[in-house]
A and B are shown apart, each in its own frame.
Chain A
Amino acid sequence: MSTNTSPTFLIDGEEISFQPGQTIIQAALAAEKYIPHLCFHPEFKPHGSCKLCTVKINGRPAAACTTQAQAGLNVESDIPEIKDKRRTLVQMLLVEGNHFCPSCEKSGNCMLQALGYDLGVMSPHFAQIFPVRPVDASHPDILLDFNRCILCELCVRASSEVDKKYVFALAGRGINKHLIVNAESGRLADTNFSPTDKAAQVCPVGVILPKRVGFAVPIGKRKYDLKPISDISSRPALPSGGEGSTGQLASGGSLESAK
């Protein structure tokens, strides 16, 4: 962890020490300072697409996941102006897909829903876009419900970088961007996807779901039902998290095992 000699910067007035090479969000999460995020995952390279981690750095807005930490920066995160923007971003994601939390198996474990609660999103605000996104139930063990996809590309990255299977990719452009699977039939059953793949473990929302284990934990007793997402102590350690890791990107650990 940080030593007295580590350089530091400020987040909301709090001094955060960091290792050179860390991004702002890596340093913040290692210090148990929560910055909202969806496409960021400690085990993967920063992506910078969801923009939930937008903060003000020396007065200028920027994504905390793609900005390198530097000594003396003044980062503002938990301020009304920024929280308002994050709320709007969550609302945009909610109307872009088809999210029906009460019937969703991921309810209570869903980062989007949890962020909505945490940021005080009371309604989707914007008119629903209602995209047509058929589910793919072809695979014997996994259901793909594209309705909930927020296009964070975590499964794409996990499948190519970790599993080396390239099962997922993004297709289309703009509001028509969508997740596809790597098969001539277009069906997951015709890929070499396995429930033990890394890609099966990383979806922050409820797109990639194991079959036949629905509602094993009742709604109300799930991860974010118990503690808000901003309470970092609610996070379980990742299997690959190195104890005491100081936030090296590839080794994970920095966030999940920090406590």
Chain B
Amino acid sequence: MPMKDPADIIDAVLSRHRDDPTRLLQILRETQEELGWLSRKTLAFIARGTRQPLARVEGVASFYSFFHTRPMGRYRVLWSDNITDRMLGSARLMKEMCQKLWLEPGHVSEDGLVSVATTSCTGMCDQGPALLVNYNAIPRLTSQRVAQIVELIRTETPISAWPGEFFQVDDNIRRRDILLANRLNRGDALRTAIVRSPTVQAESSANERTWQDSNLASAPGPLLTLEEIKRANLRGRGGAGFATGTKWEACRNAAGSGPESAHCVICNADEGEPGTFKDRVLLTTQADLVFEGMTIAAYVVGARLGMVYLRGEYRYLRDHLEKILTRRRSEHLLGHNILNQAGFDFDIEIHFGAGAYICGEESALIESLEGKRGVPRNRPPFPVTHGYLGQPTIVNNVETLAAAALIAANGGDWFRSIGTEKSAGSKILSVSGDCERPGIYEYPFGVNVAEVLSDCGAIPAKTQAVQISGPSGVCIASDEFQRRIGFEDLATAGAFMVFNNERDMFEVARNFSHFFAHESCGFCTPCRVGTTLLKNCMDKIEAGHGSEYDINEIFKINHLLQTASHCGLGHTACNPMFDTLQKFRPAYQRRFKSLAFEPAFDLDLALSQARQMTGRDDADAHLKNTMEVKE
């Protein structure tokens, strides 16, 4: 096959996206898929095409982990570096892979064939260790599988020709409740919502008012559905727990601006919190319900535009989701005049993230959708009034939207009768770590941790801790296992990582500190610098140079992050250290050589360059202090 001219490739991508600068992420991703990496020349071409400065395009490309502004291997292997992957041996397997490939982690092989590095949790914690090869997920790695992969890379076998079983991702649904066991047919929820409104504006559409216009007045259907959502007491499933009905109502009541005024519904599928993978399973098994929830939301707020922001790690779901969207269009559940309701126009488009945890924060997500760096906005104004392209926008978690569809079908009272007083409905937990049956567990709210542990085959007596809701959540110790999942007690986005008595809780916290330092967007000083200082502090302790002084430093930085950070990432970045220091302090202290102070500066290490230059390595060329540490 003759080589295509890069300029033609980029041109084709640009025209697919109508040279639209707001589609920059998708343009960069598709260009990189063809060209392997994004040179400044490539970026300049894209900048000209989208009519924006090169530096801005470069700023966007360099923000996301999955875009490469330097040459990468033709095979790009990224090992998921969550603590659960590590507990399953990912570090050893990655070392094996690198040795077999004669490669240093983080480097590209000299022939440009392959690079191996780590990435933040890829959402395969129940079937780790996992990796991404050219952004295709491969779970359940073993030494044998690593050897097979190395061979396929060495022989330059195209990934499309790799055995399909490598890429098989399991759902591992272990417990179903109202959501995962629902028996709704496609369109049931929508039809129920529409029937709830006896007449839909045939008259007003005859007057050439749009359905959206009339919706802002007092059309009964959308309002009645909104009432059901409010009555259901549905709260956001992404972790923060904001009341969904209140969000929808504020968006519905907000007037858009400009000639392009249009409300917007966004599904937040940027499931980046380490240990969370329930949205992956929901989108695999309940995509229709999620899309139906988005359509219900559009019906309530009067939106025409729907977008799913899907994390880049889940790119393999694309064909599956597109197929379902196509089917829904053909069944009049999406598109023009949905279910023959004049003017009910709504469609959904899938956008991919590119490796940035911060884009799970709703305003950063919107920035990313607009083709920018994923930096959280200053608020107010909030997205419900000024969201995507300045228009009223709701951003809801995947699970929230699925629950909304259930409510539209079955009513708010039904939903509210499940769960607890303040936490209506069910919660899907992503269980991983030290248990026999990791996977997806759906419970009515109010279930206690001990019950989940026994269901998943973890032995409570041998379990020392559970990390609830990921690194940004809370780490609970064995004397807290009676605590309950729910907004009253343990609010969670779903992650449930189990640690047995053998695990080193310091290493758990250290892994999380690296995660936050890697994922800080860098906008505000406290988080940008503080997360790196925390990581350095933890590495210092790990290297045997820690003391109580460093613990005080961690608390001091924690206090600053909590008070001065721009967004939730900074506010919570210290939680893992804070919790483990409160509950598992000996895990830190047994690494201390001195209780008061130990310098981070390593005198002997500082001499290593001099040793190298003089070719010496005798005892006299070493200083004493680290000889002790190294032993």
20 A-B residue pairs with Cβ-Cβ distance under 8 Å, sorted by A, are A50-B524, A51-B565, A54-B563, A63-B564, A85-B560, A95-B529, A169-B53, A169-B58, A170-B373, A171-B55, A171-B62, A173-B521, A173-B522, A174-B517, A174-B521, A175-B517, A175-B520, A175-B528, A176-B522, A177-B528
Interface 1/0 per residue, A41-53 and B, CB below 8 Å: 0000010111110
Q: Does A172 contact B (CB under 8 A)?
A: yes
Chain A nearest CB from B214 CB (Å) reads 34
Do A174 and B525 touch (CB < 8 A)? no
Chain A nearest CB from B10 CB (Å) reads 15
Q: Does A151 contact B (CB under 8 A)?
A: yes
**C-alpha gap A183/B37 in the complex (Å):** 19
Q: Interface segment, B78-86, B148-156, B245-253, B530-538?
A: B530-538
Q: Does B41 contact A (CB under 8 A)?
A: yes
Q: Does A135 contact B (CB under 8 A)?
A: no
Beyond A92-B529, A92-B530, is A177–B522 a contact (Cβ under 8 Å)?
Answer: yes
| Number of chain B interface residues as a range | 35 or more
Q: Does A189 contact B (CB under 8 A)?
A: no
From B54, B378, B525, B556, contact of A66 by CB (8 A): B378
Q: Does B470 contact A (CB under 8 A)?
A: no
Do B560 and A49 touch (CB < 8 A)? no
Interface 1/0 per residue, B486-524 and A, CB below 8 Å: 000000000000000000000000000000011111111
Do B526 and A92 touch (CB < 8 A)? yes
Interface 1/0 per residue, B593-631 and A, CB below 8 Å: 000000011000000000000000000000000000000
Q: Does B315 contact A (CB under 8 A)?
A: no
**C-alpha gap A184/B69 in the complex (Å):** 13
Within 8 A of B (CB), among A35-68: 46, 48-52, 54, 61, 63, 66
From A51, A66, A127, A174, contact of B564 by CB (8 A): A51
Do A174 and B520 touch (CB < 8 A)? yes
Do B528 and A166 touch (CB < 8 A)? no
Q: Does B44 contact A (CB under 8 A)?
A: yes
Q: Does B56 contact A (CB under 8 A)?
A: yes
Interface 1/0 per residue, B363-384 and A, CB below 8 Å: 0000000000100001000000
Within 8 A of A (CB), among B10-48: 40-41, 44
Do A96 and B528 touch (CB < 8 A)? yes
Chain A nearest CB from B368 CB (Å) reads 12
Q: Does A181 contact B (CB under 8 A)?
A: yes
- Chain B residues with Cβ under 8 A from A174's Cβ? 517-522, 528, 531-532
Q: Does B6 contact A (CB under 8 A)?
A: no
Q: Does A180 contact B (CB under 8 A)?
A: yes
Q: Using A46-B378, A127-B536 as known contacts, list a sample of 6 further A-B pairs with CB atoms less than 8 Å apart, ordered by residue number in A.
A: A92-B530, A96-B528, A129-B529, A174-B528, A180-B59, A184-B41
Q: Does B566 contact A (CB under 8 A)?
A: yes
Q: Does A1 contact B (CB under 8 A)?
A: no
- Chain B residues with Cβ under 8 A from A126's Cβ? 533
- Chain A residues with Cβ under 8 A from B525's Cβ? 49-52, 89, 92-93, 150
Beyond A61-B564, A96-B529, A184-B44, is A172–B55 a contact (Cβ under 8 Å)?
Answer: no
Do A182 and B55 touch (CB < 8 A)? yes
- Chain B residues with Cβ under 8 A from A172's Cβ? 62-63, 522
- Chain A residues with Cβ under 8 A from B41's Cβ? 184
For the complex of A and B, 8 pairs with smallest distance between CB atoms: A169-B55, A177-B522, A182-B55, A166-B53, A92-B529, A61-B563, A174-B520, A171-B62
Q: Which A-chain residue is minimally distant from B565 (CB atoms)?
A: A51
Q: Does B356 contact A (CB under 8 A)?
A: yes
Q: Does A224 contact B (CB under 8 A)?
A: no
**C-alpha gap A167/B600 in the complex (Å):** 39
Q: Does A186 contact B (CB under 8 A)?
A: yes
Do B378 and A168 touch (CB < 8 A)? no
Do A166 and B56 touch (CB < 8 A)? yes
Chain A nearest CB from B306 CB (Å) reads 28
- Chain B residues with Cβ under 8 A from A49's Cβ? 523-525, 566
- Chain A residues with Cβ under 8 A from B529's Cβ? 92-93, 95-96, 129, 175
Q: Which A-chain residue is minimally distant from B358 (CB atoms)?
A: A173
Q: Which of B518, B523, B600 has the most CB of A within 10 A?
A: B523
From A88, A150, A173, A184, contact of B62 by CB (8 A): A173
**Number of contacts between A and B (CB, 8 Å)?**
117
Beyond A95-B529, A182-B53, A182-B55, is A48–B566 a contact (Cβ under 8 Å)?
Answer: yes
**C-alpha gap A95/B56 in the complex (Å):** 27
Q: Which B-chain residue is minimally distant from A90 (CB atoms)?
A: B525
Q: Which B-chain residue is minimally distant from A183 (CB atoms)?
A: B54
- Chain A residues with Cβ under 8 A from B58's Cβ? 169, 171, 180
- Tell me how many residues of A have a C-beta within 8 Å of chain B: 40
**C-alpha gap A48/B527 in the complex (Å):** 13
From A48, A167, A169, A175, contact of B532 by CB (8 A): A175
Interface 1/0 per residue, A69-89 and B, CB below 8 Å: 000000000000000010011
- Chain A residues with Cβ under 8 A from B517's Cβ? 174-175
Do B564 and A54 touch (CB < 8 A)? yes
Within 8 A of A (CB), among B209-243: none
- Chain B residues with Cβ under 8 A from A183's Cβ? 54-55
Do A173 and B378 touch (CB < 8 A)? no
**C-alpha gap A222/B90 in the complex (Å):** 57
Do A88 and B560 touch (CB < 8 A)? yes
**C-alpha gap A259/B13 in the complex (Å):** 56
Q: Which B-chain residue is minimally distant from A95 (CB atoms)?
A: B529
Chain A nearest CB from B478 CB (Å) reads 34
**C-alpha gap A95/B525 in the complex (Å):** 12
Do A92 and B524 touch (CB < 8 A)? no
**C-alpha gap A182/B43 in the complex (Å):** 11
Chain A nearest CB from B548 CB (Å) reads 17
Interface 1/0 per residue, A143-170 and B, CB below 8 Å: 0000000110000000000000011111
- Chain A residues with Cβ under 8 A from B356's Cβ? 173
- Chain B residues with Cβ under 8 A from A61's Cβ? 563-564
Do A169 and B520 touch (CB < 8 A)? no
Q: Which A-chain residue is minimally distant from B374 (CB atoms)?
A: A173
Chain A nearest CB from B220 CB (Å) reads 37
Beyond A48-B566, A172-B62, A174-B531, is A181–B55 a contact (Cβ under 8 Å)?
Answer: yes
- Chain B residues with Cβ under 8 A from A167's Cβ? 55
Beyond A166-B55, A180-B58, is A127–B521 a contact (Cβ under 8 Å)?
Answer: no
- Chain A residues with Cβ under 8 A from B566's Cβ? 48-49, 51
**C-alpha gap A96/B532 in the complex (Å):** 10
Do A85 and B564 touch (CB < 8 A)? yes
**C-alpha gap A61/B560 in the complex (Å):** 10
- Chain B residues with Cβ under 8 A from A168's Cβ? 55
Chain B nearest CB from A29 CB (Å) reads 19
**C-alpha gap A92/B520 in the complex (Å):** 15
**C-alpha gap A92/B565 in the complex (Å):** 13
Q: Which B-chain residue is minimally distant from A129 (CB atoms)?
A: B532
**C-alpha gap A66/B381 in the complex (Å):** 11
From B53, B65, B536, B564, contact of A89 by CB (8 A): B564
Do A169 and B536 touch (CB < 8 A)? no
Within 8 A of B (CB), among A100-146: 126-127, 129
- Chain B residues with Cβ under 8 A from A95's Cβ? 529, 533
**C-alpha gap A171/B40 in the complex (Å):** 13
- Chain A residues with Cβ under 8 A from B40's Cβ? 184, 186
